[in-house]
Each structure stands twice: as C-alpha cells, then as structure tokens.
A = this chain, B = another copy of it.
Amino acid sequence: MSRARVHNFAISLDGFGTGEGQSHEAHFGHAGERLHEWMFATRWWRPGGSGGVDDAFVQQYDPGIGAEIMGAGKFGHPGWHEDPEWKGAWGPNPPFHTPVFVLTHHTRPSIEMEGGTTFHFIDASPDEALKTAREAAGGKDVRIGGGPTMIRDFLAAGLVDYMHTVLVPILLGRGVRLWDGLEGLEENYEIEATSSPSGVAHVTFTRAGS
C-alpha cells in the first residue's frame, strides 16, 4: 500500500507552521529558523550532530518515499510564478531526489534538476494530486511536503496516513495555523507524544490500518 506521509512538520506551541511576512529572504516569515533548530542539531542534518530521538524521527524522512507533493508557498516566496527562472530555493541538487508535484494555479513546464528531482507544476485538488503523485511514485509512499495550508487541506480531505509534527516551545503569535477547522481529527488516528531532551515534543498521527 502506498501511504501519504507528513514528516518533520514543526509548529509553535500556539499552532503556527509558518510565521507572518514570508518573503524571498524570510522563507518562514518572522519565525526565522526557530522552528527548525532542533533539526539542525541532528546528525541527519550535519556530521557530529545528535543521534537521539530527534534524529530517529528525521531519519524517516526519505526511506520509502517515491514522490512529494508541495504547496506553492513552499516552492517559493509569494510571486515566484512571475519569475520564469525560479527553480526553488534548494540549489541545483534539491534534497528530494524524486518527482515533486507543486500545487499552483500558475502551471509551467516541468523542470528536471540534478540528483533525481523533477519539479512538475499542477493545478489540482488534493485528491487528484495524490493520484498523480502515487502513479509517479511507482508503488512507494508519497510525502505531503507542506506548508501548513496544504497539509491542512490534505488532512481535511482524509488523505493523510501518517503525520509527524514537532511541537517547538515558542509562541509565534501570528502566521499560518496548521490546526484550523480540523475538529475531531483524533477519531481517525492513533496519536502519540514523545518529549525530547532538546525541548521539542514529537507528536505522531498514525491512521488505523495504514
């Protein structure tokens, strides 16, 4: 079975997955890199990093993934679709190494990058996008890549089989919320919280039978 999986999705204690004021220079707005410092400290991110529970969770990011779907806001700052040269913020060899489907109303020809990543641009519902990505994944799982708005849409549509969120002990106060409009989500998942010595808490959602 090909599952739809969310990994390493960090949110502040007050529920924001992205800060306010996203731009080319500030991919997460006023949140800066504060939502991801726990990740930068792992050996998955850098040699010599920690090998504890934070690392155990991030190590699951790649294995078994055959394609990713991401929102337009993850592919670039607001207005990227007006720049015909924009190829994402990850350099010539992006860290996906699979087909990546970018959800956008401004479609453009696919872009083949180094290392196995190809960006495809589709204007599709969550359900349609997942069908397309599953075909491209060749039986493997599909990563639901974020940001918060598209993850919320996929959750609301009942399309997510596994979700790993990371509660970071900061209060952003403003930005884009993950949780809006998802009342009763727990009825479809086994939810487990795991605190880490780094200060974050990993909260995983596993759908029954997936």
Q: How many residues from A make CB contacts under 8 Å with B?
A: 28
A3 at the interface (CB under 8 A from B): no
Option from B171, B183, B195, B200 in Cβ contact (under 8 Å) with A186: B171
Contact call B179/A171, Cβ cutoff below 8 A = yes
Collect the chain B residues with CB atoms within 8 Å of residue A179's CB. 13-15, 171
Contact call A171/B193, Cβ cutoff below 8 A = no
Collect the chain B residues with CB atoms within 8 Å of residue A183's CB. 171-174
| Main SS class of interface, A | loop
Whole-angstrom CA separation of A14 from B173 in the bound complex: 14
Collect the chain B residues with CB atoms within 8 Å of residue A13's CB. 179, 186, 191, 203
Collect the chain B residues with CB atoms within 8 Å of residue A195's CB. 193-195, 201
Collect the chain B residues with CB atoms within 8 Å of residue A173's CB. 181-184
Whole-angstrom CA separation of A118 from B203 in the bound complex: 41
Q: Which residues of A contact B (CB under 8 A)?
A: 13-15, 167, 169-174, 179-186, 191-196, 199-201, 203
Besides A170-B186, A171-B179, A201-B201, 17 other A-B contacts (C-beta < 8 A): A13-B179, A13-B186, A13-B191, A14-B15, A15-B15, A15-B179, A167-B201, A169-B186, A169-B191, A169-B192, A171-B184, A173-B181, A193-B193, A193-B196, A193-B201, A194-B195, A195-B201
